[in-house]
Amino acid sequence: MLIACLPEIGRQFTGPAVPALFETCVLAADVMHRPKRQTLKAADVHVTFGGIHALGGVDLTLTRGRITGLIGPNGAGKTTMVNVLSGFQRPTQGSISLDGQDISALTARKIAQAGIARSFQAARLFRDLTVLQNLTVAGIGSGLSMRAAAAQARDILDWIGFAGNAEWRCDLLSYGDERRISIARALALQPSFVLLDEPASGMNEAECDALMTVIAGIPSQFDCGVMLIEHNMKVIMGVCERIHVLDGGRSLAEGSPGEVQKDPVVRRAYLGEKASDKTLAI
């Protein structure tokens, strides 16, 4: 465990005093044991960039085995929320907890190892590596040996329907395939929660349908919770059990797809004042 703490020690040279260091180490030790987690909870999360409030007090709970949608107009703070939950953005105020344990102080890597995986809007694959290697890296990151990680990677590629092309280099992939592999790579981390940031953007109709099947299958196949950010309402309404609506960094509504669709406040945010009495475009 001491080894795992060493980077923390390094970081603390620039940071506060020793007790904080000790706390972080103990926390990291606990978190790294990785049983599957039940809930990921964001409480009163604020993020401020200079004078701009990207998030102004968002509460959000993800539950294992459930797909939660996060929607909202451009600039609503959806990606910032993903960045906060995955440790790439420290909340200015508020906390993130995994089964009641505060993880807001952990680095992105530690949070990934604790079982919160994410995909990126720009797929961000390791371009010089093969598809299989991309997934293997995440497997290694989750603590598997090279051999076990590669075996797991093959299983996931099998499941997602890419097994025949496992040896392709990622710079050869089409846009849609990049997205699929980026989801697969997040799953290779054996997460308790997967955060998918606009996986369907730029996909055509057929690819979207295939993607919906994949996403809908994730909770049962990988025993984890999913948070899905998407602009494509067909995808969102098709797979999510709960939907959380953000606007201007604040929670606007939360409920089942049916409830959210009918919510007049949500309609106004999406369609403007005049259109608020029409139905939400699906």
Partner 1 sequence: MRLVRFWFPAVALVVPIAVLVLLSQSFAPLTVQRVVTEALIRIVAVVGLYIFVGNSGIVSFGHVTFMAIAAYAAAWQTCCQMLKPITMSGLPAFLRDNTFPLLPSALTSIAAAGALAFLSGLVLMRLSGLAASISSLALLFIVNVVYSNWESVTMGTASVVGIPTYVTAPVALVCAILAIVVAYLYQVSSRGLTLRATRDDEVAAAASGISLYWSRLFAFTLSGFVMGLAGVLHAHYLGTISINAYFLNLTFLTLAMLVVGGQRSLAGAVVGVVVLSAIIDIFRRLEAGVSVGTAQLALPAGTQELILAAVMLVILIFRKDGLMGGRELELPRGKAEPPARVQSAKNLAGAAGKT
| Contact flag: residue 33 with partner 1 (CB under 8 A) | no
Sorted by sequence, the CB contacts under 8 Å of residue 94 that are 6+ apart come out as 42, 43, 44, 45, 46, 57, 58, 104
Task: Work out the number of other CB atoms within 10 angstroms of the CB of residue 251.
Answer: 17
Pick the closer one to partner 1 by CB: 67 or 166. Answer: 166
Region binding partner 1 by CB under 8 A among candidate stretches 89-97, 110-118, 152-160, 238-246: 110-118
Rounded least distance, CB 278 to partner 1, Å: 39
Of 41, 185, 242, 267, the one binding partner 1 (CB under 8 A) is 185
90 binds partner 1 (CB under 8 A): no
Give 10 or 272: the residue with its C-beta nearer to partner 1.
10
To the nearest whole angstrom, how small is the minimum distance from the Cβ of residue 238 to partner 1?
A: 26
Q: Does residue 237 touch partner 1 according to CB under 8 A?
A: no
Q: Is residue 60 close enough to count as binding partner 1 by CB under 8 A? A: no
Question: What is the nearest approach in angstroms of partner 1 to the Cβ of residue 192?
Answer: 13
Question: What angle do helix axes 175-187 and 205-222 make, rounded to 10 degrees?
Answer: 10
- From the CB of 15, what's the least distance to partner 1, in Å? 13
Give residue 114's identity as a one-letter amino acid code.
A
* Torsion sign over Cα 181, 119, 41, 23: positive
Q: How many whole angstroms separate alpha carbon 144 and alpha carbon 159?
A: 19
From the CB of 178, what's the least distance to partner 1, in Å? 12
The footprint of partner 1 on residues 121-140 (CB under 8 A) is: 124-129, 133-134, 136-138, 140
Angle, to 10 degrees, between the axis of helix 146-160 and the axis of helix 205-222? 130
Could you write out the DSSP letters of every residue in 55-69?
EEEEEEEEETT-EEE
